[in-house]
Chains A and B, each alone.
Chain A
Amino acid sequence: MGEATTTAADREAVRAVLRQVVDPEIPVLTIDDIGILRGVEFEGATVVVTITPTYSGCPAMDLIKDEVTAALHGAGHADVEIRTVFSPAWTTDWMSTEAKHKLNEYGIAPPQPAGAERTPVLCPRCAADTTHVVSEFGSTACKALLVCDACKEPFDYFKEI
C-alpha cells in the first residue's frame, strides 16, 4: 500500500479477502467459487479488481461491486477500482467441483458441463433422476425451475452455459 513494488503475497492477501465475498443470491458460493472474480492487480496503491458478469443482465453485479469495495476498505485498502470484463465469456465450467457440491447441499442442482446435451438433472433433495423442467427461466436468469417426479418438490437448477 503506497509501496513502489507489490508482491505476489500482497495480491494473494487481497484475493483471500475477496474469497469471503459471497454471491448475494446464492450465499453458499463466493464470487471466486462462481468465477465472477477474474483478477487482482495493484496499480500503485490502487487495488484493481477485475470481475465478469455471469449473464449479461445480471442485476446483482452492482451489489457485488459494493461488497467487493466494502471488503477491501475493511481490509485497509482505501483506493479500489473495479473493472468489468466480458471476455473470456463466463461459463459454468469455471465452477469448481467443491462449489457444485456446496450448491447441491444448498438445494440448487449444480450445472452440468456446458456445450453438451443436458442429461436428466438429479433432484438435490432425494437424488432421483426422474425430474422435469417447468421453466428454463427460474427465480434468476441463471437458473431453471424443475420439479422432482419422485419427491414432488420443486427446485432450481443452475443452467449450464
Chain B
Amino acid sequence: MTGPEPVVAREPQGPTGEVEATLLTYLLRHADDNLVLSQRLGEWISNGPELEEDIALANVGIDFLGQARAIYTHAAEVEGAGRTEDDFAMLRPEREFTNCLLVEQPNGDFAQTMARQLFFDAYQLSLWEGLSRSQDATLAGIAAKAFKEARYHFRHSSMWVIRLGDGTEESHRRMQDGVDAMWRFTAELLTGDAVDALMVDQGIGVDPATFAAVWRSRIDDVFAAATLRVPDDPYQRMGGRTGFHTEHLGHLLSKLQWMQRTYPGLEW
C-alpha cells in the first residue's frame, strides 16, 4: 500500500536539499512518537491507580515531552522556514503526523498502558543508543540524554509487566490482554523504510531492523519472568510513518490542538 509523500522541507536546495528534507522527516517522526505518547501518559494524571504511579507516568511523560521539544526545535532549524516547535506540535493535521501507531493507541487499563510502554521503551533503548553516535551532533546530544532516561523508563515498565503478569489471576489476564492488544503495532517500530536507509547512509540515523533481535530478546526476558506469552496472531498494522493513522490519533489531536483550532494564532 502506498501512502502520501513524507513531509518534506518547503524549499529543498538541491542534493543537500534532499538530505535535509529527509532529515526533517526523520526528526519529525521521532518527535511525533514522543509527543503523542506524552499526551497519552498525561491522560493518567489524576486517574492513576495509585498516587505514586500518577506521578511516575507524569514524569515519564514529561521526559518524552522534553525530548520531543528538543527534536522539534532542531527540526525547525533544519527546515529553515521559520516554523517553531509549537507549529509542528499544534498546527499539523493528522495526515502530517508520522508517529508510529503504537503510541496513539488508547490507554485502556493500566496493564494495556504498561504493555504499550514496555514495547516502546525496549525500542527507544536501542534507538537512542544508536542515535547517540549520529553524525548530526544535535541529534546525538539529544539521544545521549534520552538514552539515560529510557533506562529508567524501561526499568519502570518491565517491572510492572512482571508484577502484573506474575500476579493474581485477574492481573495476569489483564496483562496478557494488554499484550495481545498492542502486539500488532510492534512490527512498525522495527521496520526500516527509505527514510531510514538514507539517514543510515549519511551516518545520521539507525535502521530499526538492526536491533529487532535485541528488542525481541528484551521482551522475551520480561515475558518469561511475567509468565506471559507472545501472541500467536501474525497480523501487524502499519502506516503511521506515512501518515495513515488509526482513528485514535484524530481524537487525541483534537484535544491537544484544541486551543489553536478554536482560537487560531492564540499566544500566551
Residues of A within 8 A of B (CB): 53, 55-59, 85-91, 134-141, 145, 159, 161
Asked if B138 and A57 sit within 8 Å, CB to CB, the answer is no
What interface size band does chain B fall in?
Answer: 20 to 34
Asked if B156 and A87 sit within 8 Å, CB to CB, the answer is no
Do A86 and B144 contact each other (CB < 8 Å), given the known contacts A57-B67, A137-B55, A145-B52?
yes
- Cα A78 to Cα B58 with chains together (Å): 38
**B141 touches A (CB below 8 Å):** yes
Residues of B within 8 A of A (CB): 52-53, 55-56, 58-60, 62-67, 69-70, 137-138, 140-142, 144-146, 148-149, 152, 155-156
Please, could you name 25 A-B residue pairs with CB atoms under 8 Å apart, sorted by A? A53-B66, A55-B149, A56-B63, A56-B67, A56-B149, A57-B62, A57-B69, A59-B62, A86-B141, A87-B137, A87-B138, A87-B144, A88-B141, A88-B144, A89-B141, A89-B144, A89-B148, A90-B145, A136-B152, A136-B156, A137-B52, A138-B55, A141-B59, A141-B63, A161-B148
**Of the residues B64, B65, B145, B156, contact of A137 by C-beta under 8 Å:** B156
User: From residue B155, how far is it (CB to closest CB) to chain A in Å?
Assistant: 7
Report how many A-B pairs have Cβ atoms within 8 Å.
72
User: From residue A30, how far is it (CB to closest CB) to chain B in Å?
Assistant: 22
Do A57 and B65 contact each other (CB < 8 Å), given the known contacts A87-B137, A89-B144, A89-B148?
yes
- Cα A138 to Cα B58 with chains together (Å): 10
Asked if B55 and A56 sit within 8 Å, CB to CB, the answer is no
User: From residue A108, how far is it (CB to closest CB) to chain B in Å?
Assistant: 16
Contact residues in A for B64 (Cβ distance below 8 Å): 57
User: From residue A113, how far is it (CB to closest CB) to chain B in Å?
Assistant: 14
User: From residue B75, how far is it (CB to closest CB) to chain A in Å?
Assistant: 14
Contact residues in A for B67 (Cβ distance below 8 Å): 56-57
Asked if A135 and B55 sit within 8 Å, CB to CB, the answer is yes
Asked if B146 and A56 sit within 8 Å, CB to CB, the answer is yes
Among B52, B66, B145, B149, the most chain A Cβ lie within 10 Å of the Cβ of B145
Contact residues in B for A87 (Cβ distance below 8 Å): 137-138, 140-141, 144
Contact residues in A for B63 (Cβ distance below 8 Å): 55-57, 141
